[in-house]
Structure 1
């Protein structure tokens, strides 16, 4: 995040007595290298929708792509508030991170080109995207690109010292 460190607060009631707050840099590193994220959106009728997806952390935000007719895109059109999660599915080690924020479309072709390069560098040539008219294009299909800047985030440390850290962004 360009040197920015949000305020970190340890939730003592949910943490080992010897735990310390996790630094944002640790969570940011996890968000950068994670291969898979879970996106939670809300359907127009209020029911939740959760789906796994790939993404790229860049410019202090997590970015993901979806087809305009997919459920998550239709949900975001009605309500852009989301939760993104990533981490490890073990109790004995690791860190889980939960990011709350607002999904906003990225339509600037120059910025999308930079993101497309980052996507391919992270996931390989099968995830090559061209950029056209404010979208990613691959094999004749277009995808909308969204960014989520954290408004609030939580880190759940696991292992010998369970911890819960809350990061507040301004």
Structure 2
């Protein structure tokens, strides 16, 4: 995680004015423990592309991987600005999180090894990756590119009571 706490701002226009801002430690834990995230990228022609994926929070960034031939990888070669979302589909409980950032491809094998270990620790042996030549590798499949999305701005939408909190890094 980053060495400094983010600046926290609550927008009282959205939600219960008596609701306190969500504590960053609560939001960070929810971001780290989420099983599924939705990645939004932009196609070269400007149309949006959204896809579910798994990711890990490590060193102040969400890390994701994708095959080099997949739409999201191709989109990221043209436009690195992304949004990752996670939360619940409930209106009255939970915390929804929206992460805005710039995806950076990770190619350093030592860093990739740490990210691969984090995937396996979080998701189990089905998500075991070998590391080589600046990418993830798995038996019988092509390489997977790895991207880090350093936390720049995160929005939290509390639901019990409703609130909106923004963290800037």
Aligned residue for 1:111?
A: 111
Aligned residue for 2:150?
A: 149
Contact (CA 8 Å) 1:85, 1:97: kept in 2 or not?
Answer: yes
CA distance in 2, matches of 1:57, 1:21: 22
Q: What number of residue pairs does the alignment pair up?
A: 168
Unaligned ranges ≥5, structure 2? none
Aligned residue for 2:123?
A: 123
Aligned residue for 2:55?
A: 55
- Cα deviation for residue 2 of structure 1 reads 4.6
CA distance in 1, matches of 2:118, 2:31: 14
Aligned residue for 2:95?
A: 95
**3-state DSSP of counterpart to 1:21:** coil
**3-state DSSP of counterpart to 1:69:** coil
Aligned residue for 2:16?
A: 16
Contact (CA 8 Å) 1:5, 1:25: kept in 2 or not?
Answer: no
1:70-128 CA distance string (max 9 Å, x none): 00000000000000000111011110000000000010000101111111111111111
Aligned-residue Cα RMSD (Å) equals 0.9
Unaligned ranges ≥5, structure 1? none
**3-state DSSP of counterpart to 2:149:** strand
Aligned residue for 2:135?
A: 135
